[in-house]
Amino acid sequence: MRWIDRESDFKPAIYGPLARILETVEEVEERIARIPKSRSVGMSDLGSSPKHLLFFLCDLIAVIYPATPDMIKYYVGRIAPKLAKEAKVDTLIGLAEAMGLIRAHGITIGEQKQVYFSPMAHDALERPFHASPGLDLQSQRAAHVSVLLSIDQAKRVLDQLKKAL
């Protein structure tokens, strides 16, 4: 038990008889209170943090996939025009793919082969990297897909992507 006391942030170890474990509750609660509360980081400017921009792009792709690099850049330009000019969106997309956060799919429609990106995780919308109060990404995704389904070429891409997944 001494090694626990040496390495633990909550030392010393709490000893108490198992039959009367509730006698140690005050000590346990005091130590639990020492655990720092997690907090979200507010970002007023995504361009100031490549890490947050990378995660924003992953959330964006989760909403608009299947997405080409040009589509991603278009949306970033519409959401944050200044950021689209300064950010290296292609590099961040490549980094997100290398990190296993998104995946690339080569899809051929007619004679044209295009790379489309989708989220790696199936629950990407339920667990976004950037969670803003009042932002319902699932509804945004549903609205986006309803538009895609009204476009023949987009429907073909969705069908091919469904086969690839």
Residues 73 and 131 in one domain: yes
pLDDT tier at 64, thresholds 50, 70, 90: very high
84 burial class (0-12, 13-18, 19+ CB within 10 angstroms)?
middle
The rounded distance, in Å, linking the Cα atoms of 61 and 102 is: 8
Residues 20 and 59 in one domain: no
The answer to whether the beta carbons of residues 66 and 151 sit under 8 Å apart is no
Residues 61 and 29 in one domain: no
When divided into structural domains, the chain yields a total of: 2
CA 148 to the chain's CA centroid = 22
Q: Residue 160 pLDDT more than 80?
A: yes
Residues 14 and 73 in one domain: no
- Indicate whether 157 belongs to any domain: yes
Q: Residue 146 pLDDT more than 60?
A: yes
Q: Residue 113 pLDDT more than 70?
A: yes
pLDDT tier at 102, thresholds 50, 70, 90: very high
pLDDT of residue 94: 94
- Indicate whether 143 belongs to any domain: yes
The rounded distance, in Å, linking the Cα atoms of 80 and 74 is: 10
Give the residue-averaged pLDDT of 57-77: 92
- Mean of all residue pLDDT scores within the chain: 83
Taking alpha carbons only, the member of 62, 52, 56 closest to residue 139 is 62
Residues 21 and 71 in one domain: no
Residues 74 and 104 in one domain: yes
Q: Is the dihedral of CA 135, 141, 142, 148 positive or negative?
A: positive
Q: Residue 41 pLDDT more than 60?
A: no
pLDDT of residue 111: 84
The rounded distance, in Å, linking the Cα atoms of 81 and 89 is: 12
- Indicate whether 43 belongs to any domain: no
The answer to whether the beta carbons of residues 128 and 57 sit under 8 Å apart is no
For 115, the domain range is 52-164
Residues 100 and 66 in one domain: yes
- Indicate whether 10 belongs to any domain: yes
- Indicate whether 63 belongs to any domain: yes
Residues 113 and 151 in one domain: yes
How many CB atoms sit inside 10 A of residue 56's CB? 22
- Indicate whether 56 belongs to any domain: yes
Q: Residue 62 pLDDT more than 90?
A: yes
The answer to whether the beta carbons of residues 157 and 66 sit under 8 Å apart is yes
pLDDT tier at 104, thresholds 50, 70, 90: very high
- Indicate whether 40 belongs to any domain: no
- Indicate whether 46 belongs to any domain: no
Give the residue-averaged pLDDT of 105-126: 86
